[in-house]
Structure 1
């Protein structure tokens, strides 16, 4: 399975292409691309992203989509962090990006960003039983604490390198008082949370981000080790303090000649000052740098989700997966829709709605194959999907079951079943009822991943009057719009559906 992920930050945007399914759950990087979008420069006085910023972002997303498409990866997953998260027009910008580029940058919370970055770092350097991660971006600084695999506590503070540069270090060279002011500001914001991330004798402290990598490059060069990767490089907080003073005292031209600082000479002083103040306040003495960060965490999560999905398939469901791969279906989207559809079906059944025993298997197969018709044409691809499924070799399914799968997939979009549809009316009455009810579930599940971000998670589904109320977690505005637009058949079969988004933690 090939995966394309990208993150949009305040300073730059990064694309990572990789292939999973290797021994031990490993992956192989196929390609990567960095675009210095510098969205932080494109915020007006009200914090809105300007048209220039939108143009920069659209240009990067188009390049990313072109590269991932050339690698044979049908879907590009993009997460946006501080710049769009804090811009009042961020959701509108994300929607316009989808119209302009075909890519929807999902805006994630600071907590979600920290969790994914921790995951990426945990697979890049050695973590112990207790770890504290600091990830510094252009707009925010994330703290995460956890064990070897995942973060248990995450905090996001508005202490990014670009933000602090603008607030305290607009003058060059940076004065000691200005650098001290950065440190004081960091301590004031971190003080209420410091005990949560206090470093103990056995705590391993890890840094990720461009600033951390730049610091590791400069310190390694001073030790006589120039060039190459810095993943796993360790240095003391005292080394960081000396590097901060060297960078602070240097003129811009001289600062840019320090190894690692070439492209961030204008923000490196603030970035180093933020890291030093935070590490000092938490009691850290030694740190290790991880090159694995947010996008690596996105990649690992997506591959793990797909492996969990495929690992739970029966023999005949594996034949469905093989067919989906042959038709070039977006497997990550198929897996998410299948999981959502399965969850909705289980909740309906638990609430008293009756389904035959075969319903779950048929729905899962239809969800996996619902977009297979895209290999023929985008237009009317639901009809092409039905045709391909009818003529596919789905091992383990009877001809009747294969026809039902085809018809459920056919109705995942556009018109619901109606008397004028000959193939639908040719089914026995009980099968028509089953197709219509399963298609109703599939339509809502597909709508809930309209952003193709696998962000939506199901909460409680309960009866409410003559209809239903569904609680959701993590759904994007585009997912909600998609589900509401496709809930027409659900309303016909089960009653009106109301979607409610649960409040998420994190900044």
Structure 2
């Protein structure tokens, strides 16, 4: 796709950091010039970011201190490998915290990394990517489950595509705090266990009903809790090695639960195979896994060390040249196209506005009007495609409806900051002029808000140049930039007076954003020595793919 990341002639080293509710994990990878990659380091350290949070949705200062210390050490380690880029995400604990901004600011100030807080469904998608990409499934369909400290993510799918993603507020730390906080040193009574099990069953009942009729050839567990339960089964129940490595049966899981529940915490820490640091939360994790296995009639589950951090790597690879994933459409392209079509957008107009917006963006960069790169260009592309999506609700104030729909949609492949940027770009494609004080981006830095203003201005111009929805303007590009003025050439075969008026109406807003007067010149195609690029192969990727492949599924 256009705007894909490039490795460069000397390669590139990237660190992927997963800040979970219980542990922080890091993967350091070298991307080689020949489009291969090598894993340089894998690290994991318990930080218990979510400990004590779930009663009032506030991460404790002590937990923030621990997480920052672990991340700082990981970043220092990654830099010894030569890491020049850090891709960091936070999950359930940060997702639900009312003091999320404090946490993210601490990471920026003390660790020097920008952390993205991802949604539950995005977490499930990334886990699926990370796990499925490391397995040979062939034609099999697998059930994937990851039990974290604050949430549990599941997915259903094959080698290349998922058919279901779900995220539940069920986690080992969360349920321990809810049901076992009063007697952590003692054994867990059978009636206590049943209460937790019923709670989990109630939470997953609707999803279980959807899955029960689906074909499941294999169950895969990817979390530390599941792997530790498998280790206990192997060492406590099958010390002779009769059980295949990394496999946990439902029968063995039930036996393990009985053993663990019968012991006080200090004795639990001594069970063969157990990770002592998990002894206080392992029972809650076992409840979640056992309930899923019983409800879905899963006889066994295979464990894997792959997970979210590997999904971050796969997602990164999908945006690099010569690393195609999932065929023609990426998850981002697919989710944008599906959202647009589900709301019945005018695709011809959306394609024209997107094409013009990208021409304006590219030519503005050529004349040094901005220095943005591939990431900003990609967000502009998707925001332009979805700018009119609010018409699904009502044409009146549809720009405001577009903002609401984009901001509140589960756009897979995007983090919340990117979604907020696209929502604000769409919001200001008409009516009120874009101003920083009007943006709904309170947690964005000044330069990030400035980026949104610039991209919104490009969409306003592109929208104006297809005001009649007739595709009259073939091309638009900035051709000259002077100290006080910049010239925009409009190339059209027929009269496009409405479009010219529309663009001229944006001159004042343009001057506010860029500090220069916008001069508009209309040129006939016959006087321009250039090839016509308005074909399927050079349309923005999701649009070209949409034309070639039909409706997204």
Q: TM-score, normalised by structure 1?
A: 0.66
Correspondence for 1:147: 158
Unaligned 5+ segments in structure 1 are 312-345, 367-403, 413-438, 450-455, 498-507
The CA distance in 1 between the partners of 2:211 and 2:15, in whole Å, is 33
Partner residue, 1:206? 220
Pairing 1:5-24 to 2, within 5 Å after superposition: 5-21=16-32
Contact 1:91 1:107 in 2 (8 A): no
**Within 2, Cα distance between the matches of 1:9 and 1:33?**
13
- The CA deviation string for residues 129-185 of structure 1, in whole angstroms up to 9 with x for no partner, is 321111100111112111112322111111101111122223211111111111111
Matched, 1:4 2:15: yes
**Cα distance 1:188–1:29, how it changes in 2: closer, same or farther (>3 A)?**
same
What CA RMSD, in Å, does the superposition of the two structures yield over aligned residues? 3.9
User: Partners in 1 of 2:374 and 2:31 — Cα distance?
Assistant: 29
Of the candidates 201, 216, 236, which is equivalent to residue 249 of structure 2?
236
Q: Which residue of 1 aligns with 2:535?
A: none
Instruction: Return the TM-score normalized by structure 2.
Output: 0.61
- How far is 1:91 from its partner? 4.0
- 2:449 aligns with 484
Task: Choose from 201, 219, 223 the match for 2:238.
Answer: 223
For residues 286-301 of structure 1, the aligned pairs below 5 Å read 286-301=300-315
SS in 2 for 1:78: strand
For 1:286 and 1:60, the matched residues in 2 are separated by 35
Aligned equivalent of 2:514: none
1:319-468 aligned at under 5 Å gives the runs 350-351=352-353, 404=366, 407=368, 411-412=370-371, 445=376, 459-461=385-387
How far, CA to CA, are the matches of 1:216 and 1:356 in structure 2? 51
Whether contact under 8 Å (1:132, 1:205) holds in the other structure is yes
Greater Cα shift, 482-491 or 11-20: 482-491
1:36 aligns with 2:49: no
In the alignment, structure 2 segments of 5+ residues that lack a partner are 1-11, 326-347, 390-394, 422-443, 462-505, 511-553
**Equivalent in the alignment of 2:294:** 280
Are 2:78 and 1:63 equivalent residues in the alignment?
no
Native 8 Å contact 1:231 1:289 kept in 2: no
Q: Which stretch shifts more, 249-258 or 178-187?
A: 249-258
- Give yes or no for the alignment of 1:164 onto 2:172: no
CA contact (8 A) 2:197 2:287 kept: yes
- 1:57: how far off? 2.1
SS in 2 for 1:351: helix
- 1:20-55 CA-partner distances (Å, limit 9, x unpaired): 4598x7643201222211012242752211222222
Which residue of structure 2 lines up, in the alignment, with residue 371 of structure 1? none
Which range is displaced more, 472-481 or 236-245? 472-481
Classify 1:134/1:309 alpha carbon distance in 2 versus 1 (closer, same or farther; 3 Å).
closer
| Aligned residue among 51, 60, 63 for 1:53 | 63
| Pick aligned residue for 1:270 from 269, 279, 284 | 284
* 1:301 CA displacement: 1.4
Q: Hey, what's the Cα distance between the residues in 2 that align with 1:298 and 1:231?
A: 29
* Structure 1 residue aligned with 2:465: none
Give distance in 2, aligned partners of 1:94 and 1:82. 14
1:129 to 133, 140, 157: 140
Partner of 1:417: none
Pair 1:126–1:460, CA change in 2 (3 A)? same
The 1:348–1:53 alpha-carbon spacing in structure 2 relative to 1, beyond 3 Å, is same
Distance 1:487 1:143 in 2: 34
Match of 2:472? none
- Using a 3 Å threshold, how does the CA distance of structure 1 residues 468 and 141 change in structure 2: closer, same or farther? closer
1:63-142 mapped onto 2 (5 Å cutoff): 63-127=73-137, 128-142=139-153
Deviates more, 1:161-170 or 1:125-134: 125-134
Report how many residues are paired.
Answer: 383
**Cα offsets for 1:271-320 (capped at 9, x unmatched):** 11221012101111121111111111111111222135899xxxxxxxxx
Partner SS state of residue 230, structure 2:
helix
Deviation at 1:202, TM superposition (A): 4.8
CA contact (8 A) 2:354 2:385 kept: no
Contact 1:445 1:483 in 2 (8 A): no
Residues 366-400 of structure 1: per-residue CA shift (max 9 Å, x gap): 6xxxxxxxxxxxxxxxxxxxxxxxxxxxxxxxxxx
For residues 48-89 of structure 1, what are the alpha-carbon distances to aligned partners after superposition, in whole Å with 9 as ceiling and x for unaligned?
Answer: 112222222222222222222222121111111110111122
Is 2:262 aligned against 1:249? yes
